Amino acid sequence: MMKRGAIWLVHTGYWLLFAVLLLAFFFFAVFVPAHVPAGTHPLNSLAWWLRLMAGFAVLPGVLSFYACYTYLFDNFLSRQRFLLFLAASILAACLSSIIGAALASLPFLFGPMFLFGDGYASALFILLLMAAIAWVNGMMGAIIKGCLTWYRDIRLKEELHRKNVETELALVKAQIDPHFLFNTLNNIDILINLDTAAASAYLNKLSAIMRFLLYETKRDRIALERELEYLQQYIDLQRIRTSNASYVDLELEGEFSGQMIAPMILLPFIENAFKHTEDHKADSSINIHLQSRKNQLVFTCINTLHSKAETGAHTGGLGNSLIRKRLQLLYPGAHNLTITGEASLYRVKLELSL
């Protein structure tokens, strides 16, 4: 993203150009012979010109520029509400011209003669001219904000792409774990002689997981139902490694259809829970709870630990730092991740705005 200093430089450059333009008008009016009124003293008129421009062009221009830059662009133009933006920008320009006229009409500047020296018709013309100048500045503010936003989005996409490449490499190392594949295939091989139907079912689950990892993880968003289906398959394959399938509990609450999620957001936490929970004989050693409510997903994963030393081991796999960076890129300002480690429990809570 563009640094704050660079943004300040853009703003400073714009207002310097605006000041140069106003000074160019001044020198054109003063030093071009055909435009020099009788009795004018050019060397003494710059202060008068600056006082005039302060209320006539500078203050209305600044107010309109930053009204469009800070508020109108974000609330109307970026949401493609073009007519509302046009109306709001004209209103902002008119209000800015009135404020500028009020400044110029103060006694220490020009007083009421600024507007009403030549009657009400002249006052209306002056206000309209000031509003036009203010509106042009407002449009420039919107254009500059649009360019900065476009540049920011380009940089953000580049960084996201780079992080996704890093994440894909980490996922290959962390998720397609040779030990996990070896143990799963070994367990399926044992099941073939004991329960052919169960072995076939588990082999299909493993095939579905591999297909998911190879193809669907490359997408920006997938259906939440599909992600949950993959998690269920992963948990089922982990269950066959022990005779006590109830050592892991999975609870789903709410409606999950019709929502999208970035792939592989939840699995690293579940994978870590399986890696660092050794007591497979105890019931509910791992508790996984997912709740969907009003386009928000709340994920909680709690697993038991045997010692404090194992708490730090949960940084393995995809790694908490990389997970946090990926969440910041994929869900900026739309997630809340809390990880706590106690003497015997490790708790992860993730809230996502989908």
Contact by Cβ (8 Å): 303, 276: yes
In whole angstroms, give the CA distance from residue 265 to residue 171.
11
Tokens standing for residue 162: 């780079």
Tell me: do 102 and 209 sit in the same domain: no
Of 286, 288, 279, give the one whose Cα is nearest residue 242.
Answer: 279
Tell me: do 330 and 185 sit in the same domain: yes
Tell me: do 345 and 219 sit in the same domain: yes
Final residue belonging to a domain, choices 156, 189, 216: 156
Tell me: do 125 and 209 sit in the same domain: no
Tell me: do 317 and 179 sit in the same domain: yes
Tell me: do 290 and 183 sit in the same domain: yes
DSSP letter for 301, please: E
80 located within any domain: yes
DSSP letter for 40, please: -
pLDDT at position 72 is 92
pLDDT at position 43 is 44
Burial 14-35 (b: 16+ CB within 10 A, else e): eeeebeeebeeebeeebeeeee
Tell me: do 207 and 260 sit in the same domain: yes
Show the domain range for 63.
4-156
Tokens standing for residue 208: 């579905």
Tell me: do 192 and 315 sit in the same domain: yes
Final residue belonging to a domain, choices 156, 187, 206: 156
Final residue belonging to a domain, choices 156, 185, 204: 156
- Residue 116 neighbours by CB distance under 10 Å: 13
pLDDT at position 163 is 74
53 located within any domain: yes
161 located within any domain: no
Tell me: do 85 and 198 sit in the same domain: no
CATH number of the CATH domain containing 242: 3.30.565.10
pLDDT at position 26 is 78
pLDDT at position 316 is 44
163 located within any domain: no
Mean pLDDT by 10 residues, the chain (354 residues): 79 92 80 54 65 88 94 89 92 93 84 76 86 94 91 82 67 54 74 80 80 74 88 82 77 88 85 76 82 89 69 50 79 90 85 89
Tell me: do 103 and 246 sit in the same domain: no
Burial 268-306 (b: 16+ CB within 10 A, else e): bbbbbbbbbbeebeeeebbbbebebeeeebbbbbbbbbe
232 located within any domain: yes
64 located within any domain: yes
In whole angstroms, give the CA distance from residue 304 to residue 253.
23
Tell me: do 67 and 146 sit in the same domain: yes
170 located within any domain: no
**Structural domain total, the chain:** 2
Tell me: do 67 and 191 sit in the same domain: no
258 located within any domain: yes
Tokens standing for residue 301: 């994963």
